[in-house]
Amino acid sequence: MVRCVIAGVDGSPESLAAADWAAREAGLRGLPLRLLHAWEWQAYANAPLSGPVAMRAWAAAVPRGAAVDLRERYPHLEITSEEIAGQPAAVLAAAAGEAEVMALGSRGLHGVTGFLVGSVALAVIATVHHPVVLVRAGKTAEDEHLPDADGLASATTGYRDVVLGLDLDRPHEDLLAFAFDAAADRVARLRVVHGWTLPPNVHGSGVVLPDLIKEATSERDRALTKALRPWQLKYPEVDVHAHQVIGRAADHLVEVSADACLVVVGRRIRRSAVGSHIGPVTHAVLHHSAAPVAVVAHP
């Protein structure tokens, strides 16, 4: 199997933003980029209203057109494109097993309601065991970098932070490895955020007890330091800023995503009677993060 980065494309602005992100990621990793369009014979938003022959021609043109555009902007990158007939979620999920990372798009909503994560993207994220990155429409390389000396957007300055949402109850190595690798590849600071809620014994007669809060906070600090220590030794070049916050982890991750180049969150691999799940924190971050979100599955 050839190692690669895959982007799912369907001709929409959000999928093209994901393909552009995937091209930059492939360049950072020194890997080829594969553009994949999965299609079914049915009418949908980005397809022309015509017969199956024209539909097949359009399906072939979607990834090829994206490849032409990306080759012009990333001439040193090896880029291939293909179209596969089939149910999009199933096709993309199968292809994800051949990729180091897959990029998919999400559409921005008006106001402060967040971003629309389509059913296909959610199905892929909830199913695959390889990292999947969701990129919203309109995201560019400049958004990942710090502004220049004049405060203007630039793609040549240093990267903004890579943000890792870490659950200390399940600090899995796949999640930590992805985040540290991402920060090392970008020569970016890794900002680790651990959110937690106050234990019941902190409240006495309805009043929060300061000494117990201090003790619980110190315990979390020690646990966070212990979880990160081996990774900091393995990646001494990565500048790590770790902190724990009281409250909903998703709220804090969404807040810091405004100044991040990438947010990394986990998805626990488990299956219930009603199918796979993404988890409430990851689900909220996917819908509201301002930065691309990498979902890393782990046991």
Half-sphere exposure of residue 185, counting CA atoms within 13 Å on the CB side?
17
Kindly give, in sequence order, each residue whose CB lies less than 8 Å from that of residue 164, ignoring residues fewer than 6 positions away: 175, 176, 179, 190, 191, 192, 193, 263, 264, 265
Query: Would you give per-residue pLDDT tens digits along the chain (299 residues)?
Result: 578 999 999 888 899 999 999 999 999 999 999 999 987 755 444 555 555 656 666 666 888 889 999 999 999 999 999 988 888 899 999 999 889 999 999 875 444 444 456 788 888 999 999 999 999 988 899 999 999 999 999 999 999 999 999 998 877 899 999 999 999 999 999 999 998 877 666 555 555 567 777 888 888 899 999 999 999 999 999 999 999 988 889 999 999 999 999 999 999 887 654 445 788 899 899 989 999 999 999 88
pLDDT of residue 103: 97
The two tokens of residue 74 are 């990333």
pTM score, whole prediction: 0.89
Closest of 234, 136, 133 to residue 176, by C-alpha: 234
Query: By the 8 A CB rule, do 278 and 126 touch?
Result: yes
pLDDT of residue 233: 98
pLDDT of residue 246: 86
How far apart, in whole angstroms, are the C-alpha atoms of residue 76 and residue 74?
A: 6
